[in-house]
Amino acid sequence: MPERPGNNNTKNQEKASAVLAKLILAFQTGELPAAIAQTVITGPGRPSARWSLGNRIIMFLAGTEDARGFQQWQQVGRRVKKGAKAFYILAPTTRTVRTRVREVDPETGEEVEREVCRQIITGFRYVPVFRYEDTEGDPLPSCKPSQPPPLMDVARRFVNDIRYEPFMGGWYGAFSPGRSQIVLATHDAHVFFHELAHAVHHQVRPGGLQGGQQADQEIVAEVVACALCELYGYQGYLWHGWQYIQHYACDGEKALRRIMAVLAEVEKVLLTILDIAEPTNQEEKIA
Ligand SMILES: [Zn+2]
């Protein structure tokens, strides 16, 4: 059957309206499917994730997102390239202090003297570290999921870089317009959909997104993520989504009103994604 121009778009529009209506009804009635636990990527990750903010700023100024000591690179099978220059971070120097304390032995009830060791900071020293870009050797262990989530191809049209990293606390995913990058600390498709929505929203919104976590932008991203979960068969995330939206809207009643206020933007983002993901009418093609 020949493709009818505009037909697919209308089909996606119907799909978007239906799923958004279903979501709003679910949020309104509170009848949400049982929530499934969120997961995170575990692993050693980059040592710099545990550095102080000051040291991480020094690292970013050196133009890298992963810097390690000479031996730390060797431990992961990489060598520092010839002629590469180190830059320096500050690390605390510590000393072990032994002190004797008196305490009651819980078994005998007698007072005993025990030696305890304590680490104290005695100062700071400069530690040379090298940029990942100045090393060569084995690729770093991948945190990528064995099966990428749906819409990965769509996301690649909106950002240059999508990467998975071990969870270090604080956030599950992030979209950086400046770096044109999505970073994910979980394999949960819901989080990927949320960051994808931010990336698309950034393109379709005149002037792009505002910096930081703006409530309306978060609500748009999360409603789109919930809608995509529904459309792609990821059950159990709606509850998390509704919690997230309520958090940004301050309470449940306001949350619904705030969703309604940004619904046109939600629809625009969702349709942009669907029109790229499903430009042809699959059912008709099969028929
Ligand atoms: Zn967000």
User: In Å, what is the CA distance from 23 to each residue of 33, 194, 233, 282?
Assistant: 11, 15, 14, 25
- Residue 142's pLDDT is 78
**Residue 35 CA, ligand 1 centroid: distance in Å:** 20
Q: Where are the domains of the chain?
A: 7-39+143-286, 47-137
Is the distance from CB of 112 to CB of 86 less than 8 angstroms?
no
Neighbours of ion ligand 1 (CB under 5 A): 218, 221
- Residue 281's pLDDT is 53
**Residue 158 CA, ligand 1 centroid: distance in Å:** 16
Contact partners, residue 33, CB within 8 Å, separation at least 6: 235, 236, 238, 239
Q: What is the distance between the alpha carbons of residues 11 and 9, in angstroms, rounded to a whole number?
A: 5
Among the residue ranges 9-23, 72-86, 106-120, 207-221, the one predicted with the least confidence is: 106-120
**Residue 85 CA, ligand 1 centroid: distance in Å:** 37
Using the predicted structure, report yes or no on whether residue 6 has a pLDDT greater than 60: no
Q: How many CB atoms lie within 10 A of CB 24?
A: 15
Residue that wins the pLDDT comparison between 281 and 71: 71
**Residue 62 CA, ligand 1 centroid: distance in Å:** 28
